[in-house]
Amino acid sequence: MDYNEFCNTVRNELGSFLLGVEFDEITIKETVKNNGTVETGLMISRKDSNIAPNINLKEFYGEYTNRMQEEAYHDEEVLHDILGKIADTYRQNVENMTPEDVDILYHPESVYENAYVQLVNYEANKTMLKNVPYRKYMDLAVIIRIAIRDDEKGFASAVATHSHMAQIGVNEKKLYEAALENTTKLFPPRMMKLEEMIQMLEPDMDEIPETGAYVLTNAAGRNGAAALLYAQEELETLSSQSGHGYYILPSSIHEVLLFPDDAGMPLEELQYMVREVNRTSVAENEILSDTVYHYDRESRKIEMEFPQKEVQEKEPER
Amino acid sequence: MEKITIDIEIKTDRKPDALQEYAKRIAEAQMTKTKEDGKEEN
């Protein structure tokens, strides 16, 4: 069963797994996500509700294909399990949403309280950026999301858009300031050696080479590249202890690497490395940039390094 | 008011594929540099 067939089957058969759940329509919708990638999402909507929950089916299709490769399973059995899991995901994340959870989206004060920032590529998201408040940061853009739920089952959030913010009377300048402040508290920076981070994510792995590189992310490990915006203290401490600056390699939207600038590695080689790893080992919707940045020990500033300096543009006035 | 899309993310364990690739490539580049430095000294 290919991905399209899988999505259509889920749409047609999920209803019987949602007994007792009030809904009017189950639809498959293609949504433009980070870097302009298109994801097929499942929308289970009610006419009397202004929210449209979007569940990405890719993870579920991945599980379906993995299990189908194991000979012990039959198509119907696997599909039944997967449909049950999708229904559970909906129940746990959406049906259990209290009116207060959804209310977050309709009141300026709760939007300010639950806003946080996300760092994305500017060029690759130009179309999306027309509709959302953002700040330009070198060749990147800082966008704002509103957190609705975050528990062991999953995470629900919505991107702040111009139309939504205008409708509920949110001031975009104030929103950005609140989002940045919230992010430093909700997602404090985390810095550790590259080897330690790999070991933490993949405990069975052995023989990880020592590189001298560090990983900067946040405590949640999700959208951690945004820590660049507020990890001044961590960067200053690392830099003053080691006595040199750092090249910043944008490994994904989830984290960046810090590599000593006195290690004798040519900048061009680092640039090539970032491009290659982005093309071969990072999901398209998780790529942050092909640019290498630099943290200067003396000035304590982060700047873009070769190339792409020409990308600097004036932010549109609002 | 237009419908607001809520993105639901299921928590999954992240695989450090890209980080491993960086570790491998950096280590290789460092090894090459050490060898070249050694040749120059000789």
Note the pLDDT tens digit of each residue in A78-90. 999 999 999 988 8
Residue A285 at interface with chain B, using a CB cutoff of 8 Å: no
Cis peptide before A260 (omega within 30 of 0): no
Residue B11 at interface with chain A, using a CB cutoff of 8 Å: yes
Which of the residues in chain A have pLDDT under 50?
309-318
| pTM for the whole structure | 0.85
Which of residues 133 through 152 in chain A touch B, CB cutoff 8 A?
Answer: 148, 152
Q: How far is B34 from chain A, CA to nearest CA, in Å? A: 10
What's the token pair of residue A87? 């229904």
Angle between helices A58-69 and A75-90 (to 10 degrees): 150
Whether A171 and A317 have beta carbons less than 8 Å apart is answered as no
User: Are A197 and B16 in contact (CB < 8 Å)?
Assistant: yes
Whether A190 and A224 have beta carbons less than 8 Å apart is answered as yes
Residue A198 at interface with chain B, using a CB cutoff of 8 Å: yes
pLDDT digits (tens, 9 = 90+) for B1-42: 677 888 887 777 778 889 999 999 999 998 888 888 887 776
Residues of A within 8 A of B24 (CB-CB) are 209
d(CA B4, CA A53): 8
Which whole-number Å values give the CA distances from A91 to A99, A191, B13, in the listed order? 14, 36, 21
Interface ipTM > 0.95: no
Strand partners, A27: A43
Q: How many H-runs (helices) and E-runs (strands) does chain B carry?
A: 1, 1
Which of residues 159 through 178 in chain A touch B, CB cutoff 8 A?
Answer: 159, 163-164, 167
pLDDT at A316: 45
